[in-house]
Structure 1
Amino acid sequence: MLDLTKLAKQIPGISQHLKGEALASRQRWELAQKLLLETNTRQDDLIQSHQQWRDRITFTAAVPVEPLDTRLDLDSPPESHTVFATDGSQISPSHHEIAYCYLINVGRVMLHYGQSLHPLLDNLPEVFYRPEDLYISRQWGIRTEEWMGYCRTVSEVAILADMACRWVNPPGSHFDIPNLAMVDGSLIYWFLESLPTEARDRILPPILAAWDQLRSVNVPLMGYLSASRSNEALHFLRLQACPYDTPNCLSHCASVTDKLPCQVVEPLRDTMLWSSLLQPGQRSPLFRSSVRILDLYDHHRIYFCYVHVGTEIARVEVPEWVAQDTMLFNQALSLMLAQVYKGYGYPIAIAEAHNQAVVRGGDRARFFTLLEQQMIRAGLRNVGTSYKEARKRGSIS
């Protein structure tokens, strides 16, 4: 049990530290605004410089595809539209449980507006227990728990595409209303960078195939990031802050062990900068991400912008084919903002998908009880948890 009396003695120190950090953050924010104005006047030159020296730059800078002083009001959403969303959770494998297996549960949601149709809110659980599911990742040095998370990502996207495509293009029917497919979090799967090629080839291709499905029925895909900690857009300003004629980091700053001379506003985040530049219902300029793993995404390279949704500055990501279709992109943003308003600060479709997917303690207990009953019926003996797990469940504290 947490001893609050001992903890209370540390609170004043934390408060003083945060006060100092707030002041320093304000100074970095003012500097970033000044740097943004300077960068805006040299935007084309800096983009060209980034393209020329990208292989020699040691940081990842997103490239603006619109003027940096862009501030656009989002359109009102059409009365009739449909929003799809998925989210997932899991029960991790444990040697202390009745059986060594894991479960992935994907919540799926389909909400219709202005159509007098019932919503879809359910979940699709799947149990993995075969040796090829449990131990395949060991050959690449990847723990089963990590691999399970990667497989969950694939399941979420595949189920999202299947749900959307079945609705938008059912046999013998045609729907001509706006749609939006949403996922919680980034469309840039950073974990792919550390995976061996063979392992990555089992994760990325099915994801991109699902995205192709969505593209085939013209359903825009969007990743919604709340409280984003990215500074990819601010990193573009580092090209302006560079004191050298060329941003050749490997040549000029190879021996620098502390902050580089261009890191004048770090650790400021993108959301902090745009919080003062955007009004509610406005978006920032569109950026193209330069993360190297996106070189494997083919025509699905990721673009993003920041949107003032009223309660926060959200980072919104879309594939290239959505960003390049201006009407589709603007329509997707309008549907996203409507979802945030309906969800009182967070997209309601994603929130409901999470609620459908979440596996609570009681669900976990019922799952293993059901499994135990089936094992006993199958004639297995000595079915039960380890003494450690049994003792933890019966703690007197």
Structure 2
Amino acid sequence: MLDLVQLARQLQDIGQHLTNEATAARKRLELAQRLLQEARDRQPELVDLQNQWRDRLGFASAEPIEPLDTSRQIVAAPPIHTVLATDGSQIAPSHHEIAYCYLINVGRVVLHYGQNRHPLLDSLPEVFYRAEDLYSARQWGIRTEEWMGYRRTVSEAVVLAELGDLVSKAQTGSSPAASRIGHPAIAMVDGSLIHWFLEGLPNEARDRILSPILAAWSQLQAQHIPLVGYLSAARSGEALNFLRLHTCPRPQPDCQTHCPGQTDGAPCQVFAPLRDTAMWELLLEPGQRSALWRSSAKILDCYEAHHVYFCYVHMGAEVARVEFPAWVAEDADLLNTALSLTMAQVQKGYGYPVALAEAHNQAVVRGGDRARFFALLEQQMIRAGLRNIGTSYKEARKRGSIA
């Protein structure tokens, strides 16, 4: 139980602290805005330095593909289009439950606009209980709970590609290029397309996760359905980090030699901890996008033809980071489709893409769902002739209280 009296005493100074932080943030924004204009004049030179010293940089810095101060109006979405989205949830394994297993539930959403067709709103549950599902990851030092999260990411991508197949076949009966013939479509996921967690995995474990994801993205590419990762309240500073090349006091940005082990205290970090979204909220008007950027995350070296690009879009209520694979960023038609349909989804969802919100609602596993899942599991175990079925004494005791 939370003691509100003690909590109130600790929160007395938070108002003054937040006021001071807001004042400091405004000063950092003014500095970053000035540095961006200066870096714009040196952009080709800075890009050359970035490419030359990429392996020696101590920070992740995206590469601008367009002028730094780019701001382009996003065109309106066509009246006839289709939106695909998936999201996942899970029931984690627990030794205190009646059986050690886990469940992944993937919410599926297909919304048709201007086509007089019913939407698809459902979910696909899958139970994992075999030894190879529960314990195979331990050979790489990965806990079952972590591996479950990675498997959920795979399931979301695979199901999204399957939805793309359904839409393409329904539109033309056979041609996978239907989404390019008068019926634009978009495939959306919540969060980043850059799976940072893969960096620390052994090669074999990483391949088991990344390979099916990239295969699913290749299916969407063959169907000409642009893939978008939508990040609300993005915390990245990858684009602003490009300005650190401009503020570096050394002729060569060799961080490993000149600033070994330094992060926040480095002389180039003059506007930390500013986020990209704070800067582009000043530079963009509602309905505009920023320059395109090529992410420099090291894990993307394994993404082959699906290297991730991104831009920032002023959605009206917030500035969101929108990510897409290289085959979307390098195709003007697919890029315009991705951005216009994303903007339309945010408008329809009053600040957040309606398809992603619905996919989450379809996927989420609530307390009652969890209880019914284990009740069904208990029935099956009894029918199989198992005895002494029940939760651990610890779990049973936590579910009740004498207070």
Give the TM-score of the pair, scaled to structure 1.
0.98
Q: Which residue, out of 271, 295, 309, partners 1:265?
A: 271
Q: How much does 1:275 deviate?
A: 0.7
Any idea what SS the aligned residue of 1:12 has?
Answer: coil
Report the Cα distance in structure 2 between the residues aligned to 1:150 and 1:396, rounded to whole angstroms: 39
Report the Cα distance in structure 2 between the residues aligned to 1:12 and 1:277, rounded to whole angstroms: 35
In the alignment, residue 103 of structure 1 is paired with which amino acid? Answer: L
Q: How much does 1:253 deviate?
A: 1.6
Q: How much does 1:256 deviate?
A: 4.8
Q: Which moved more, 1:314-323 or 1:242-251?
A: 242-251
Report the Cα distance in structure 2 between the residues aligned to 1:150 and 1:49, rounded to whole angstroms: 36
Q: How much does 1:172 deviate?
A: 3.1
CA contact (8 A) 2:86 2:188 kept: yes
CA contact (8 A) 2:220 2:227 kept: yes
Which residue in the other structure is 2:173 paired with? 172
Does residue 108 (structure 1) correspond to residue 114 (structure 2)? The answer is: no
Any idea what SS the aligned residue of 2:221 has?
Answer: helix
Q: Deviations over 1:162-190 (max 9, x none)?
A: 11122113573453200000000000000
Aligned residues: 397
Q: How much does 1:228 deviate?
A: 0.5
CA contact (8 A) 1:303 1:319 kept: yes
CA contact (8 A) 1:253 1:260 kept: yes
Which residue in the other structure is 1:331 paired with? 337
Which residue in the other structure is 2:87 paired with? 87
Which residue in the other structure is 2:310 paired with? 304
Which residue in the other structure is 1:220 paired with? 226
Any idea what SS the aligned residue of 1:169 has?
Answer: helix
Which residues of 2 match residues 1-397 of structure 1 at below 5 A?
1-170=1-170, 172-174=173-175, 175=178, 176=181, 177-254=183-260, 256=262, 259-397=265-403
Structure 1 residues not aligned, in runs of 5+? none
Any idea what SS the aligned residue of 1:108 has?
Answer: strand
Report the Cα distance in structure 1 between the residues aligned to 2:231 and 2:311, rounded to whole angstroms: 11
Q: How much does 1:255 deviate?
A: 6.6
Give the TM-score of the pair, scaled to structure 2.
0.97
Report the Cα distance in structure 2 between the residues aligned to 1:24 and 1:250, rounded to whole angstroms: 29
Report the Cα distance in structure 1 between the residues aligned to 2:9 and 2:342, rounded to whole angstroms: 44
Report the Cα distance in structure 2 between the residues aligned to 1:288 and 1:156, rounded to whole angstroms: 24
Report the Cα distance in structure 2 between the residues aligned to 1:271 and 1:64, rounded to whole angstroms: 16
Any idea what SS the aligned residue of 1:250 has?
Answer: helix
CA contact (8 A) 2:90 2:105 kept: yes
Q: Percent identity?
A: 67
CA contact (8 A) 1:53 1:247 kept: yes
Structure 2 residues not aligned, in runs of 5+? none
Any idea what SS the aligned residue of 2:230 has?
Answer: strand
CA contact (8 A) 2:28 2:274 kept: yes
Classify 1:134/1:8 alpha carbon distance in 2 versus 1 (closer, same or farther; 3 Å).
same
CA contact (8 A) 2:264 2:272 kept: no
Q: How much does 1:395 deviate?
A: 2.1
CA contact (8 A) 1:85 1:353 kept: yes
In the alignment, residue 293 of structure 2 is paired with which amino acid? Answer: F
Any idea what SS the aligned residue of 2:86 has?
Answer: strand
Report the Cα distance in structure 2 between the residues aligned to 1:165 and 1:359, rounded to whole angstroms: 27
Q: How much does 1:22 deviate?
A: 0.8
Classify 1:182/1:148 alpha carbon distance in 2 versus 1 (closer, same or farther; 3 Å).
same
Report the Cα distance in structure 2 between the residues aligned to 1:353 and 1:22, rounded to whole angstroms: 35
Q: How much does 1:54 deviate?
A: 0.7
Report the Cα distance in structure 2 between the residues aligned to 1:391 and 1:376, rounded to whole angstroms: 23
Q: Deviations over 1:230-250 (max 9, x none)?
A: 000000000001011111112
Q: Deviations over 1:239-280 (max 9, x none)?
A: 001011111112222275761010001100000111111111
Classify 1:284/1:255 alpha carbon distance in 2 versus 1 (closer, same or farther; 3 Å).
closer
In the alignment, residue 154 of structure 1 is paired with which amino acid? Answer: V
In the alignment, residue 395 of structure 2 is paired with which amino acid? Answer: E
In the alignment, residue 15 of structure 1 is paired with which amino acid? Answer: G
Report the Cα distance in structure 1 between the residues aligned to 2:290 and 2:402, rounded to whole angstroms: 54
Report the Cα distance in structure 1 between the residues aligned to 2:57 and 2:6, rounded to whole angstroms: 47
Report the Cα distance in structure 1 between the residues aligned to 2:92 and 2:261, rounded to whole angstroms: 44
CA contact (8 A) 2:226 2:337 kept: no
CA contact (8 A) 1:169 1:217 kept: no
Report the Cα distance in structure 2 between the residues aligned to 1:89 and 1:254, rounded to whole angstroms: 41
Q: How much does 1:127 deviate?
A: 0.2
Q: Deviations over 1:299-334 (max 9, x none)?
A: 100000000001111000000000000121011100
